[in-house]
Amino acid sequence: MKLSTASMSVVGAAIVLAIGAARAPAQSRPKSQKRIPISKEAGGEVARVDTVLRTDTMTVTVTNTVYHTDTLVKTVVRVDSVLLTPPPVPIRLPAGLYFGIAGGSTIPSGSIFVPNSVGYTGQMQLGWQNTKQGFGGRISGSYAGLGEDTQFSRGSNAQLWTYSMDLKANLPLGHFFGLTPRLNAYGIGGWTYSWFRDLPHRLDTPENAPNVYALGDGSWSGKSGWDAGGGLALMFGRSEIFVESRAISFGVHDSPRAYQVPIVFGFNWY
């Protein structure tokens, strides 16, 4: 503290001495009472000092530019309406393995014609037929019940079971009912075996002798034979409808050939 106070005193004394030294010459300068004339130099020209204050205004523009890029994805769905003609639907006709059923009536003929009348029949068949091939095959089983003639009635109608193994020849006739259905004619024939009972029949007799008939036996008898016939079939999709008639021939003991002629309407599924 003492050192600071002394320093401040010394500085103050120095300032006072400096001010006194500066005022001393001004007080001792003599004052002159004579006026000093002032004239213009060189024809009255006075030096003129023009002070031009130039202010440059600089405008600093600070631009903070922020670039913001938006990526816009525009999805355009274009629908071209083009009329296309669909390809023709292929014609698919049934072919291969088939199974079917049929039913109708049967007519007696030959040695069983007189003592029996028209009856009924039912049939089931399993076969193979390709529409692009002319030949096929079929196996079938049928049952027939014949009517009785009143002169030979014993109270029991004749019954027949027939098993057939046939070849089938196909003949296309064309598309008569549009593009898909096709009409076929066919022939069928082969080997048969028939079982029968209660079947009255005509016996063999000498020429010019009157006909003699035997009453049916109640036991089952069997004879081999053959069949032949034909029909019309309409094929469409995987199905076939048909109408058919054939003659089924078989032998009866001590009699001429016997025949039954079934006429059936049926369905086959391929």
Six-digit token pair at 214? 């035997």
Name 227's bridge partners.
190, 248
| pLDDT band, very low/low/confident/very high, at 178 (cuts 50, 70, 90) | low
Query: Confidence band (pLDDT; 50, 70, 90) for 207?
Result: confident
Question: pLDDT grade, residue 238 (50/70/90)?
Answer: confident
Q: Quick one: tokens of 153?
A: 């009635």
* CB of 171 closer than 8 Å to CB of 220: no
C-alpha angle 96/161/191, rounded to 5°? 55
Judge whether residue 54 has pLDDT over 70. no
The answer to whether residues 250 and 257 touch, using CB atoms and an 8 Å cutoff, is yes
Helix (H, G, I), strand (E, B) or coil at 22: helix
More confident position, 60 or 136: 136
**CA gap 10, 214 in Å, rounded:** 182
Residue with tokens 């629908």: 79
Query: Is residue 6 within a helix (H) or strand (E), and if so which, with residue range?
Result: helix 2-28
**Longest Cα pair distance anywhere in the chain, in angstroms?**
211
Q: What is the pLDDT of residue 24?
A: 47
> Using an 8 Å Cβ cutoff, are 248 and 164 in contact?
yes
DSSP H or E stretch at residue 11: helix 2-28
What domains does the chain contain, in order, with CATH numbers? 96-269 (2.40.160.20)
Instruction: Give the mean pLDDT of 48-69.
Output: 52
Tell me 133's DSSP state: S
Question: Tens of pLDDT along 126-177?
Answer: 999 887 788 999 999 999 999 988 777 777 899 999 999 999 999 988 777 6
* Tens digits of residue pLDDT in 97-120: 999 999 999 999 999 999 999 999
- CA angle (150, 153, 156) in 5-degree steps: 135
Query: What average pLDDT does the structure give for the chain?
Result: 78
pLDDT at 89: 57
Task: Give the pTM.
Answer: 0.64
| Rounded percentage of the chain residues whose pLDDT exceeds 70 | 63
Q: Which helix (H) or strand (E) holds 24?
A: helix 2-28
Dist. CA 159–CA 245, nearest whole Å = 19
For residues 53-60, give the mean pLDDT.
Answer: 51
pLDDT at 21: 47
Residue 180 confidence (pLDDT):
62
